[in-house]
Amino acid sequence: MFRHAPIRAAVFFGAGASCFANFPAVNSFFQYAWPRRGGLLDELCSQLARRGSIYEGTQENLNWPVFNAEKLFGWLEILEKAHRIQNVDGVGEPVVVSNHRDMKLPADELMSKLKGEIARVYGAQIEPKTIASAPHHDLLKMLDTVLPESEPLHVFTTNYDGVLEQLFENWRSGSRRIGGPFRLCTGFSSDRPGQWQAKLLEEEPNPGVRLIRLVKLHGSITWKKNADGLPVETGWAMPTEHDSLLYFGYKGIPEQEPFLTLHNLLKSTLLQCEVLIAIGFRFADPYIYELFVMALHANKGLRVICCLKRAPESSSPLSRLMEQFPHRVQVLVNQAGKPVSFGDTQFQESLEQILASPRQ
């Protein structure tokens, strides 16, 4: 069994960490959601991608339907907000998304339909045998062994799906759990619907019980707003008359709960952490990228180990981070220098070696 002196470690799961359960990554959402091209949503989203790319001076839309879904959702949120501002007194014209063939929808209606698609795609049922074979088990068990007993295990994710919730529910049944008892905290109360209570994330671990804080930075398909407009955890994974409560990452600082508290917890953890293991995350979220830059400047002892299927492109945010902080931000590689993907047979050994290696 891997042995290591206690270290403060945390894990960050990006979209690539859920690919084992057949959930699409950020760039493949539109390809996955609409295998057949040419429908209303496909046409309008592709046009929005084209216009946004022209505005930014890029040609990202040329690979459609391969496109950064978070970016497009962020642009649509801007249009949706403009829609609300324009109609605040009830006399403005709606902000419409259209294409050249007179297909069109108001921005708020398009956003509502897309949130329904997000809930449908990421709310798909995960087979118990798939969860049982998830590569997350061994990684979290290893982190439990290296983390001081008095420290909470922070599990951050930008994923909307229910992989981690189902995994921890699997542990509650006694299947492949960590070394001892644990307590899971998400910021929501345990009843259904669970009420958002930010103070829950301030609770300290109890002796002999590992506290696991599951921090869903971009929300979840099971989060909704109740009749009073307050966040609740429903446990319902599929579309309802209420939109899922999601925070699309291609924008600035969050201003509302629960996302304000969740991002602040990421910030405080990075400032205290020694090692953060990022799985399937390429730092394309501008605000999270800036949080890591700030933390790496302020916390000289922080190392970031990234696990990816392929090396980052030369002009990508992760490449910039690696150039700015050499030896402290690195991609997990095998003995041949090739990236080691999550769940690869060499993943655990490669990670253990890099954790045991002297800091440079």
Dihedral of alpha carbons 283, 312, 117, 62, sign:
positive
Q: Looking at residues 300-310, what average pLDDT do you find?
A: 95
The mean per-residue pLDDT over the stretch 271-300 comes to 96
Mean pLDDT within 247-263: 88
Choosing from 57, 90, 122, the residue where a domain stops is: 122
Does residue 104 form part of some domain? Answer: yes
282 has pLDDT over 70: yes
Report yes or no: 231 and 225 within 8 Å, Cβ to Cβ.
yes
Residues 164-192: what's their mean pLDDT? 88
More confident residue, 3 or 64: 64
The overall average pLDDT reported for the chain is 90
* pLDDT score for 122: 92
Tell me: do 73 and 178 sit in the same domain.
no
Cis peptide before 65, with omega less than 30 degrees from 0? Answer: yes
On the question of pLDDT at 354 being above 60, the answer is yes
Same domain for 162 and 49: no
Asked if pLDDT for residue 244 goes beyond 50, the answer is yes
pLDDT at 80: 85
In this prediction, residues 68-92 reach a mean pLDDT of 84
Alpha-carbon span 247 to 18, nearest angstrom: 18
Task: Judge if 133 and 250 occupy the same domain.
Answer: yes
Average pLDDT over residues 116-122: 89
Confidence at residue 239, expressed as pLDDT on a 0 to 100 scale: 59
Confidence of residue 252 (pLDDT cuts 50, 70, 90): confident
CB contact at 8 A, 281 and 218: no
Q: What is the dihedral of CA 111, 112, 114, 116, to 10 degrees?
A: 160
Answer yes or no: is pLDDT of 265 > 60.
yes
Cis status of the peptide bond prior to 258, with omega within 30 of 0: yes
3-class SS string, the chain? CCCCCCCCEEEEECHHHHHHHCCCCHHHHHHHHCCCCCCHHHHHHHHHHHHHHHHHCCCHHHHCCCCCHHHHHHHHHHHHHHHHHHCCCCCCCCCEEECCCCCEEEHHHHHHHHHHHHHHHHCCCCCHHHHHCCCHHHHHHHHHHHCCCCCCEEEEECCCCCHHHHHHHHHHCCCCCCCCCEEEECCECCCCCEEECHHHHHCCCCCCCEEEEEEECCEECCEEECCCCCEEECCCCCCCCCCCEECCCCCCCCCCCCHHHHHHHHHHHHHHCCEEEEECCCCCCHHHHHHHHHHHHHCCCCEEEEECCCCCCCCCHHHHHHHHCCCCEEECECCCCCECCCCCCCHHHHHHHHHHCCCC
Tens-digit pLDDT profile for residues 90-115 = 766 778 888 877 788 888 889 988 98
Flag whether 3 is in a domain.
no
Please tell me the predicted confidence (pLDDT) of residue 360: 57
| Average pLDDT of span 221-241 | 82
Given 94, 122, 150, which residue is the final one in a domain?
122
Rounded percentage of the chain residues whose pLDDT exceeds 70 = 95
On whether residue 2 sits in a domain, the answer given is: no
Which of the listed residues 92, 122, 152 is the one where a domain comes to its end?
122
For 148-158, the pLDDT digits (tens) are 988 999 999 99
pLDDT of residue 218: 95
In a domain, 4, yes or no: no
**For residue 61, pLDDT beyond 80:** yes
Query: Residue 34 has what pLDDT?
Result: 83
55 and 17 in one domain? no
* Domain count across the chain: 2
Longest dimension (CA), the chain: 68
Instruction: Say if residue 102 is in the same domain as residue 155.
Output: no
| Boundaries of domain holding 95 | 26-122
**CATH number of the domain within which 144 lies:** 3.40.50.1220
User: In which band, very low, low, confident or very high, does the pLDDT at 4 lie, cut at 50, 70 and 90?
Assistant: low
Tell me the CA distances in angstroms from 308 to 16, 134, 348, one per residue in order. Answer: 8, 16, 14
User: Same structural domain for residues 16 and 149?
Assistant: yes
Q: What does the alpha-carbon distance between residue 332 and residue 357 come to, in Å, rounded to a whole number? A: 13
Q: Kindly state whether residue 340 falls inside one of the protein's structural domains.
A: yes
Interval 167-193 mean pLDDT: 88
Say whether both 192 and 240 belong to one domain.
yes
242: pLDDT strictly greater than 80? no
**What's the whole-model pTM score?**
0.93
Q: Are 278 and 305 in contact (CB under 8 A)?
A: yes
Pseudo-torsion of CA 351, 356, 359, 360, nearest 10°?
-70
Q: What Å distances lie between residue 48 and 35, 55, 109, CA to CA?
A: 19, 10, 14
Asked if residue 229 is part of any domain, the answer here is: yes
Confidence of residue 180 (pLDDT cuts 50, 70, 90): confident
Q: Is it the case that residue 18 has pLDDT exceeding 90?
A: yes
Q: Is residue 1 part of a domain?
A: no
54 and 168 both lie in a single domain = no
Q: How far apart are CA 109 and CA 140, in angstroms?
A: 40
63 & 150 share domain: no
Same domain, 111 and 16: no
- Does residue 275 sit within a domain? yes
Average pLDDT score over residue span 129-140: 93
> Which residue did the predictor score with more confidence, 88 or 310?
310
Are residues 280 and 347 both part of a single domain? yes
126/21 Cα distance (integer angstroms): 7
The whole-angstrom separation of Cα 305 and Cα 319 is: 13
Domain match, 202 and 165 both: yes
Of residues 227 and 146, the one with the higher pLDDT is 146
